[in-house]
Copies of this chain bind each other. A is one copy, B any other.
Amino acid sequence: MANYSFEDFPPGRRFDFAKRTLTADEIIAFAREFDPQPMHMDEEAGRASILGGLAASGWHTSAIMMRMLFDAYLDGSTSEGSPGVDSMEWKRPVLAGDTLGGHCEVLEARISRSRPELGIVRMRAELTNQRGEIVAVCDYINMLRLAGKDADHAHG
């Protein structure tokens, strides 16, 4: 754990993701719970779809990206979560057996006007597959406390 706080996120700083191979079982388990469309549940249905094979739900790809963000910089940090995502593009299918990696980068960082103990960091994450193709891009916001500051519950 790096125990990052807001001050550790200047624009341009980049964090690389550890690589991870996605199995058919993982794809189907996520889909069964959250997105049981045929192309996420069954190899043959995936091949008959425009995705071309058993493909992860886009929301599964996003959840995996989230885990990569956690492992890359959030673990032990002063993160207070996120108010949302400006855009989430699922650019190519993520198929069973694909190995995902990538990185995220700080686009902009400023201190909150209404909560001076909190910094607002805009970031972009890019996920790539084993052929170096970009499969997903996400512009998102991360709130992180300044070093040594507690959350202000008066606003919470």
Q: List residues of chain A with CB under 8 Å of any chain B CB.
A: 30, 33-37, 39, 48-52, 55, 57-59, 62-64, 66-67, 70, 74-75, 79-91, 115, 118, 143, 150-153, 155-156
Q: From B66, B74, B90, give the contact of A82 (CB < 8 A).
A: B90
Q: Are A67 and B34 in contact, with the CB atoms below 8 A?
A: yes
Q: How far is the CB of A149 from chain B (nearest CB, A)?
A: 12
Residues in B neighbouring A64, C-beta threshold 8 A: 34
Q: From B62, B118, B152, give the contact of A59 (CB < 8 A).
A: B62
Q: Are A52 and B90 in contact, with the CB atoms below 8 A?
A: no
Q: From B80, B91, B151, give the contact of A83 (CB < 8 A).
A: B91
Q: Please, how many angstroms separate the alpha-carbon atoms of A30 and B88 in the complex?
A: 20
Q: From B30, B52, B118, B155, give the contact of A156 (CB < 8 A).
A: B52
Please name 26 pairs of A and B residues whose Cβ atoms are closer than 8 Å in the assembled complex, sorted by A.
A30-B63, A34-B64, A34-B66, A35-B66, A35-B67, A36-B75, A37-B79, A37-B81, A39-B80, A49-B80, A50-B115, A50-B118, A50-B143, A50-B152, A50-B155, A51-B80, A51-B81, A59-B59, A59-B66, A62-B62, A83-B91, A84-B88, A85-B85, A85-B87, A85-B88, A86-B87
Q: Please, how many angstroms separate the alpha-carbon atoms of A86 and B86 in the complex?
A: 7
Residues in B neighbouring A155, C-beta threshold 8 A: 50
Q: How far is the CB of A114 from chain B (nearest CB, A)?
A: 11
Q: Are A49 and B84 in contact, with the CB atoms below 8 A?
A: no
Residues in B neighbouring A90, C-beta threshold 8 A: 81-84
Residues in B neighbouring A88, C-beta threshold 8 A: 84-85, 88
